[in-house]
Amino acid sequence: MGDSIDGPIGPVSYSILTQIRDLCLNEEPLVEATCFDDPIDPTELVLTFSRGVESPGRMEITWWVRGAYRYHYTEPEGVDFRFDNHPKTAAPDTHFHPPPDAGTAEPSFLHGVRQPQVVTRAVLTRWRQAVVEPAGLRNLNE
């Protein structure tokens, strides 16, 4: 993970990642495939999309047992952004790294939202809007 975490967040929650995977497969038709990075000791769920902003991309998701999370979207053409919730000295715990290169953290519209299903739906909704609407990446964190 390219971001520093400034506090204890506990181990990754495989059960929550499984719930997130099932939600994505059932509710987002542009999810082409899902996999865990390691079948024995997974640390992230990877979603592969059939479409993207510039080209089909992937989202790497990690959810820790204490409620910290990371949703990192990336495309081969250089589109990167990330929604995070973890202790961070230089930004609010719930923050957003904007495109095109997952730049400097800023406050996230997800502040105060802690339920994995709600966070997942919100991130997928913003991603989908960026893919299909003319405003594209500008409204991801609005």
- Decide if pLDDT at 1 tops 70: no
Enter the pTM of the model.
0.92
Q: What is residue 10's predicted lDDT score, i.e. its pLDDT?
A: 85
Sign (positive/negative) of CA torsion 81, 84, 88, 92? positive
Report the chain's terminal Cα–Cα distance, integer Å. 24
CB 71 within 8 A of CB 109: no
Summarize the confidence of residues 3-11 as an average pLDDT: 66
Under DSSP, is residue 85 helix (H, G, I), strand (E, B) or coil? strand
Instruction: List the chain domain ranges.
Output: 14-136
pLDDT (tens digit, 9 = 90+) per residue, 69-97? 999 999 998 899 999 999 888 889 999 99
Under DSSP, is residue 77 helix (H, G, I), strand (E, B) or coil? coil
